[in-house]
Structures are given as C-alpha cells and as structure tokens.
C-alpha cells in the first residue's frame, strides 16, 4: 500500500526498507539521464515525481514494470506527476533500453559513483551491486509515498495509482 514503509509480503527481513520514509525530506541527488542531462531532486520544480529504482536494464521483470509504467504515464501526467526510472546502468545502455521499450520518461544512471543515489535512498543491494526494487513518490521536497518489492517481483501498478490519488488536489 502506498505510504507504507513495509516490505512486500513474504519478502523476508532482508528486504525491509532502509532510508527515507513517508514525510522525510528527499535525499539530494544528481544523476544523468539517457541523454547525458543532469537531473536533480529539484529538476521537476514543484511537480511531484516518482523515482522508480530497479535492478538492471534489459532484465525481464524490470522490462515488464517499466513498460507498464509507460502505458500509465499519461494518467500520472494528468495529475502533474512525472516518472523517472533509476538503475546502476550506464547512460548509453539506458538510452538503448529506453529506445527499445519506447519509453517517454527519463531513465537515470546511478552508474558512478556506483549506486550512490540508491544508497542515499536506502535501497542499494551491496551483495549484488544493484538497486533494490523501491519506489518513492516525491512531492514538495518530501517523500509522499514509498513502496518496495522483492527483486523478482513487480510493484503493482495499483500502488502507483493509489499514491497519486492520495496527493492533495490543487
């Protein structure tokens, strides 16, 4: 459920989230997108945005998840919510991945220092050198919702929709 800090059911104690939770300030970050442009926590201005951490480009579950988010992106945009995917892949790999999937949202490279943004959000998997599967909805400089799932499990699209619906309306 959006806004909860708990791990996905059955994901075990090793998957319990660390890092910021609902109400906490968004950690500072500066990442390059697939075009080499820098995106920071303030790039969207005052617009809310999802930071969608995922393990690796071109993997089965990640591809399915990002394709589903692309299909729903217009729904989020009607509420002024942007989507950014974040992985430890290089910007050149992310550009090819975004083109292959036909993504209209930006993919951010947490490539070097390796996983620095994922670490600041408490969702870096040191044992495997990848981001864990964690989503943060950022609004007004704070975490408005957070939800996580096990590496092999997709986050449900309904969690994204509920998080957006919980945002205050202008």
Say whether 62 is catalytic.
yes
Residue 44 tokens, joined: 């969207």
Please identify which residue in the block is written with the tokens 């930006």. 106
Burial class, 44, CB count within 10 angstroms (exposed 0-12 / middle 13-18 / buried 19+) = middle
Catalytic-labelled residue, pool 8, 62, 143, 145: 62
Distance CA 153, CA 54 (A): 11
Report helix, strand or coil for 97: helix
Residues labelled as active-site residues: 62
């Amino acid at each position: 459920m959006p806004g909860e800090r708990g791990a996905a059911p059955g994901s075990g104690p090793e998957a319990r989230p660390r890092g910021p939770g609902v109400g906490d300030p968004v950690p500072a970050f500066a990442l390059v997108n697939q075009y080499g442009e820098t995106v920071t926590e303030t790039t969207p201005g005052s617009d809310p945005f999802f930071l969608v951490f995922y393990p690796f480009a071109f993997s089965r579950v990640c591809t399915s998840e990002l394709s589903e988010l692309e299909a729903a992106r217009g729904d989020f945009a009607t509420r002024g919510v942007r989507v950014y995917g974040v992985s430890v892949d290089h910007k050149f790999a992310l550009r090819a991945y975004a083109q292959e999937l036909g993504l209209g949202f930006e993919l951010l490279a947490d490539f070097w220092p390796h996983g620095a943004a994922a670490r600041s959000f408490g969702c870096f998997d040191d044992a495997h050198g990848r981001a864990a599967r964690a989503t943060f909805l950022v609004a007004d400089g704070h975490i408005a919702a957070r939800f996580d799932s096990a590496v092999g499990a997709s986050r449900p699209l309904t969690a994204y929709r509920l998080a957006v619906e919980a945002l205050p309306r202008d």
